[in-house]
Structure 1
Amino acid sequence: MSVQEKIRDLPHKPGVYLFKDRLNRVIYVGKAVDLHKRVSQYFHPSRKRRADRKLIALVEAIADLEFYSVHSEAEALLLEGRLIKEFRPRYNVSFRDDKRFLLVKVDLTEPFPRFQVTRLKKQDNARYFGPFASSGALRTTLNIMKKKFGLRSCNALIPTEKDYKHCLDHIIKNCSAPCIGKISQAEYLERVKMACAFLEGKSKEMIEEIRAKMEQAAQAFDFEKAAELRDLLEALEETTRPARRFVKQLPQISSPHEDLEALKSALSLSKPPLLIECFDISNISSTHKVASMVSFREGKAERSAYRRYRIKTVEGQDDFACMEEVIRRRYKRVLDEAGNLPDLIVVDGGKGQLSSALKALQSLGLNNICVIGLAKENEEIYRKGFSEPLILDKSDKALRLLQRIRDEAHRVANAYHQLLLKKRMRESILDDCPGVSENRKKLLIRAFGSVEKIKKSSVEEIAAVKGIGKKLAEKIVSFLSSRN
């Protein structure tokens, strides 16, 4: 079913939607009061004309969508936050700081338990209520609840007569004053338990009482008071409405064990590949050709075993030769040091990269290690002895694991390439040129690509670079000429 067909089937209900790219990765999570209307807006021609580049890029990357219906906007907000924390989508900004929703904490083992607002649930003896999406509604509810049940608002663990002297709650009859013995410790604990039942939504008396007062105020034409009670009623109902936990219906990330079993089955291996090593080449230009090797043990990244390589023997841009060099260097060293050989080697690329890897392994006498190539274009898996690539379903656990490993290798290789480019920039002979600051040096390298190309450029061409005037351009040309 296409994305447009799925949009037509979306319900007019609150919920959360997930946009996915062609690799079945979640790239954006959003919430909606009306799923059908909200998601349709992304693909409306008039919205696209007004959209910024980020939104256009998001829409163009959408290959699939998924949605979850909920009962209210508050539930949608809670679910949205949980899914963003789970999938870490690239186009989401909200919730990326791992901020948690509000909870209410009460420790019934304290002599006079207090209700406290917190964002972190600890493994202690306390009871926790929530999470609550609306902080305003929650705080309003807690204030009303404390007045109704006569609960203390002071922070002392055991309130005393000293705390009573500085407290106004007893004077305005909002507190039962256990600090001076107005009620016993047992009586106060009963009030706390009643308040807990109210937060769980088990006690409806307070809500019914406020609703009756609201109707009385409206009948007496005291609309200002009726509106105030209406807002209070909405806050209480929003806070005490039980939120669904979304346990069964959420998409779950499979376990490493399940991923490895799926990979074993897909590649027809005799056992799950507990140690996987993956290689990627970063060969953006003929300068600073680099490679990365990432290691995954039992389905999890083993960062201490990662390696980075600078290609030494290859001239020009030749990914196949680069792959052959780095594979040979890696496993020659493993053999020399009597290290552990992997159960599976993954190379980023198709038939050419796979052939290069096999050639390097053969030169070392390593013919029994399973090696595959994962091509980016259509996520095709190339294997030794098979003329046609293996194509797995996008949702297959084996493919998802291979993609995670390949993407990590790609990230490490690109990061190393960028590091070397920055180092090259710092080591440039332009550092010694009078008038060329660090920022101007970056502008020049970015504009021309290398010092050699700057040397071949005219004064006018150099002066055209932002931040470089004609006088400085003449100095640069003179300085570089003297360094030939």
Structure 2
Amino acid sequence: MIEYSTLPAEPGCYLFKDKNGAIIYVGKAKNLKKRVASYFQKRDHDKKTRKMLSLAESLDYLVTANEVEALILENSLIKTNHPRFNINLRDAKQYAYIQFTDDPFPRVCIARRSEGKGQFFGPFVSAAERDYVLSVVKRIFRLRTCKRLTGRACLRYHIHTCSAPCRGMIDQDAYREQVKRASMVLKGRSRDLIGELRQEMAACAESQDYERAMVLRDQTQAIERLSGKQDMARQVQGDEDIIHYLAHAGNIYLMLFQVHHGTLINKKEYIFEETPDMLEEFLVQYYGENPVPSDLILPSEVDATLEEYLAVQRGKKVTITVPKIGAKKRLLDLVEKNIEISFFGDRIKLEELQEKLALDTLPEVIECFDISHISGTAVAGSMVQFRNGKPDKRNYRRFRIKTVEGIDDFSAIAEVVKRRYSRLKKEHGTLPDLVVIDGGKGQLSAARKELKALDLPLPIIGLAKKEEQVFVPGHSHPLSLEKKEKASLFLQEIRDEAHRFAISYHHLLRRKEVRQ
């Protein structure tokens, strides 16, 4: 039986393999865990899927930043590995590109292949996405789409989506500046362009050219909305290897992504003991037996002699990059994300939470309480439990508030905490490593008072919704925990699940009241 319960709830691609390790099927998913689980929970599969599952002996996966990248990665993996159970589309067309022609006044159009003269951007896996990007670029930068300059203004000029070079309404230099700016957007350099536009906008406002300033403002806002970039398929000639690693408990967990002409085609994983020069040692050993790419993307600098060694191995120059921003940095971050999920699962966020809260033990079992009501009616409480970083729904609990009238979240929290832990204490049940209260200092104080009355010195914190502030007993100010830190995001995930569970019970109680 293939184990899928530890898969991440992230977008990406999953690979079923046979007993020989050969890939027999590649699929994409918005949520890897749910998608793979569906194969084993459904009973009405078609004949082909049943056959594939009967031959599948193992499962591998790659996490991507979003669903679009998963589509691109799926396409490249299928074309590289030719899995037996994927549809064979030998004659299928490649994904389309957006092209700027090499005319004096370049026109923008769709190209099926990145061949010929001009600039090409893409590929775009979705026709809807491609058409949206194309329409926005045409509208923002007012570029022409007509095949010939007829000397007659068309409808697009009259609705202000073309600058009408056919009528001489814009000179060649100004038009090419617009083309240059559009290409910056399509290359993923939106941030640089936005900075330029804002400077120009400020200058126009200062000179009281408010009409031009408004045009630049609209362009800036449109570009910001369009600034998402696909990093799994980029216009790159040659091959790249992207390497990242994490050190943990004396070991190095390293992952290597192989990229061919801008498209990710494979990943490799390694574990070895940590040494001072471990990265350089790995590179020497690995590339002594494997092909050396034209570009190598690394998380840290290496000795210059290594670059010479790699160039000798390849027979040509090798470029080593340690990116700080841009598409290459995002790919490096993606490798790191895959390492965390592949090797550690949820342990990293548990360890960070232990460190941030100064807990004596790893918080393997966490229980979180929330209260839900509408104008003080049908007050309900919920408790969710997370075990080893994941929801343990078998141990979720619901509470109908019995001793509190009206709106009194403090007393309601106190009631559910008392009921939960007095029962656990009476039954000698397993206590959690951490208790989380949805609320600020007031709710935290009420819950802690009940724990003290039960003589249960459990670690307890409060998480206030508005600013995601973490409060601990004995401190009037919240902990200095950033919202985007792993520990904070984990606490928010737990709190949101408790809130969802409380709301669902509250709705159930409301429906019962209506029926009565």
Bin of the TM-score, shorter chain as denominator length: 0.3 to 0.5
Larger Rg: 1
- TM-score for both structures, normalised by structure 2: 0.39
Higher strand share: 2
- TM-score for both structures, normalised by structure 1: 0.41
